[in-house]
């Protein structure tokens, strides 16, 4: 970097990419140039950056000539092909897809939790899955205090996690409902998983399937939460199980998280710990009906935690409600925050 970084956004027209642009507008990183990349379909479209009109370019390997930092969110296949091309040309890649997440050579980073892992990067850094990120931000401070033996999480995930077309699908179905069209006539094409055989309505529904089914009747989204948690926390022994559910919310993932700590910790201690934890906003006052809500976390960078209470039967068991903007902390903000952290640690180079 001479007088600012040249940054490429891959997948700039997508649900995550457009938020990446917003986060770059607010970043503390010194920027020289921002290059917006997408498929041939979107080449020539224009997008605004800090009041300037930028033209979207078609992604090709040469797009990365002179680029210092490349933020990828155009799907795993695109990252597999083009992230190495970017690194070859001297760029550091922060990848939002699952493609490199479990690669032992690639740090998987939530800055509030494991920024030290960045020191080992070899050009590519992986951004975890959105559902994992917010859970890590909420649980790491508790783990530091009392250890963590077990996590059982049920997610309530917003449709924007499945991309811009899924949001359109929710809006279309909601409009059909208001127009009196019976649900059997709605045209579900994307959810629960674009690549799967069957599609079901999401409006006024809850779908206990995110991504396709993998081993043991868990979905890939559920396995991501299990495997990524173990990698980020560097604890292969931690017990994790997840049930991931799509609900008709546009943005903001909510999670019901049950944990068993290794040591006893009071609810008051958990509240105090979380009140001062990085990236966490404590919203927990049942007497005043105060708790985190998806609608209120939209466009916020923090992770909101409430409904903290003891399990009724298990001595070291606790329940929490964890909410965050899936497109910001779950994706675009975590990526830009990784880049800012790399810069602060003088690691934004290969
Ligand atoms: P989206 O709204 O469907 O956007 C997809 C983006 O990828 C668009 O900009 C699209 O450009 C671009 N793209 C598609 N094919 C391309 C190609 N052949 N070459 C270049 N660009 C191409 O999807 P999204 O929700 O933003 O998600 C994108 C990816 O981000 C996902 O596949 C996933 O891997 C990752 N993601 C991660 C998280 C997380 O949990 N951290 C959350 C959501 C998504 P066009 O306009 O040209 O089609
Ligand atoms: O569905 C959600 O709420 C999060 C989706 C994330 C996602 C969507 C498509 C492909 C991912 C991801 O980040 O794990 C991927 C992927 O890259 O595998």
Of the residues 121, 130, 244, 297, only one is catalytic, namely 130
Query: How high is the pLDDT of residue 2?
Result: 59
The C-alpha atoms of residue 16 and residue 14 are separated, in whole angstroms, by 5
Which pair of structure tokens corresponds to residue 279? 């990236």
Query: How high is the pLDDT of residue 161?
Result: 97
The C-alpha atoms of residue 48 and residue 60 are separated, in whole angstroms, by 22
The C-alpha atoms of residue 299 and residue 156 are separated, in whole angstroms, by 18
Burial class (CB in 10 A: 0-12, 13-18, 19+), 274: buried
Whether 66 is in the pocket of ligand 2, judged by its Cβ within 6 Å, is: no
Distance of CA 113 to the CA centre of its chain: 14
The answer to whether the predicted template modeling score (pTM) of the entire model surpasses 0.95 is: yes
Domains of the chain: 5-127+331-344 (3.40.50.720), 132-326 (3.30.360.10)
For 60, residues 6+ apart whose C-beta sits below 8 A from its C-beta are none
Q: 245 C-alpha vs ligand 2 centroid, how far in Å? A: 13
Q: Would you say 14 and 73 are in contact if contact means Cβ atoms under 8 Å apart?
A: yes
pLDDT digit of tens for each residue in the chain (350 aa)? 658 999 999 999 999 999 999 999 999 999 999 999 999 999 999 999 999 999 999 999 999 999 999 999 999 999 999 999 999 999 999 999 999 999 999 999 999 999 999 999 999 999 999 999 999 999 999 999 999 999 999 999 999 999 999 999 999 999 999 999 999 999 999 999 999 999 999 999 999 999 999 999 999 999 999 999 999 999 999 999 999 999 999 999 999 999 999 999 999 999 999 999 999 999 999 999 999 999 999 999 999 999 999 999 999 999 999 999 999 999 999 999 999 999 999 999 99
The C-alpha atoms of residue 159 and residue 253 are separated, in whole angstroms, by 9
Whether 110 is in the pocket of ligand 2, judged by its Cβ within 6 Å, is: no
| DSSP class per residue in 175-217 | HHHHTT--GGG----SSS-TTSS-----TT--BS-SS-B-GGG
Which atom of ligand 2 is least distant from the CA of 76?
17
| DSSP class per residue in 288-336 | GTB---HHHHTT--SEEEEEEEE-SS-TTEEEEEEEE-TTIIIIIHHHH
Residue 144 DSSP symbol: H
The C-alpha atoms of residue 245 and residue 215 are separated, in whole angstroms, by 17
- 297 is an active site residue: no
**Best residue for ligand 1 mutational test, from 9, 38, 133 (most atoms within 8 Å of Cβ):** 38
Whether 248 is in the pocket of ligand 2, judged by its Cβ within 6 Å, is: no
Which atom of ligand 1 is least distant from the CA of 162?
25
Q: 17 C-alpha vs ligand 1 centroid, how far in Å? A: 7
Query: How high is the pLDDT of residue 3?
Result: 86
Q: 259 C-alpha vs ligand 1 centroid, how far in Å? A: 33
The C-alpha atoms of residue 32 and residue 4 are separated, in whole angstroms, by 5
End-to-end CA gap in the chain: 12
Nearest CA-CA partner of 329 in 110, 13, 163, 98: 110
- 130 is an active site residue: yes
């Amino acid at each position: 970097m001479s007088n600012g970084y040249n940054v490429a956004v891959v997948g700039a027209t997508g649900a995550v990419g457009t938020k990446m642009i917003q986060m770059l507008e607010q970043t503390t990183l010194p920027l020289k140039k921002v290059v917006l990349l997408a498929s041939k379909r979107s080449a020539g479209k224009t997008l605004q950056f800090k009041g300037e009109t930028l033209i979207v370019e078609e992604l090709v390997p040469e797009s990365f000539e002179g680029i210092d930092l490349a933020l990828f969110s155009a799907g795993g296949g695109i990252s597999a092909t083009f992230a190495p091309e970017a690194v070859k040309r001297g760029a550091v890649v922060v990848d939002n897809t699952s493609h490199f997440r479990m690669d032992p050579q690639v740090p998987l980073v939530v800055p509030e939790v494991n920024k030290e892992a960045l020191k080992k990067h070899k050009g590519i850094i992986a951004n975890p899955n959105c559902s994992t990120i917010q859970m890590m931000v909420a649980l790491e401070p508790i783990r530091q205090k009392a250890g963590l033996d077990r996590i059982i999480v049920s997610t309530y995930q917003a449709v924007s996690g499945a991309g811009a077309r899924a949001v359109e699908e929710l809006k279309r179905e909601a409009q059909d409902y208001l127009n009196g069209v019976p649900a059997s006539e709605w045209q579900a094409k994307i959810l629960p998983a674009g690549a799967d055989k069957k599609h079901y309505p999401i409006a006024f529904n809850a779908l206990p399937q995110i991504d396709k089914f993998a081993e043991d009747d868990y979905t890939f989204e559920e396995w991501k939460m299990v495997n990524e948690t173990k990698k980020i926390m560097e604890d292969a022994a931690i017990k994790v199980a997840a049930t991931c559910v799509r609900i008709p919310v546009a943005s903001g993932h909510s999670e019901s998280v049950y944990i068993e700590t290794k040591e006893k910790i009071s609810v008051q201690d958990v509240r105090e710990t979380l009140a001062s934890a990085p990236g966490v906003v404590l919203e927990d006052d049942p007497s005043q009906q105060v708790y985190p809500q998806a609608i209120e976390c939209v466009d916020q960078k923090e992770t909101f935690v409430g409904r903290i209470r003891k399990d009724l039967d298990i001595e070291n068991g606790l329940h929490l409600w964890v909410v965050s903007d899936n497109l910001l902390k779950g994706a675009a903000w975590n990526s830009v925050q990784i880049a800012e952290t790399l810069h602060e640690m003088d690691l934004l180079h290969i």
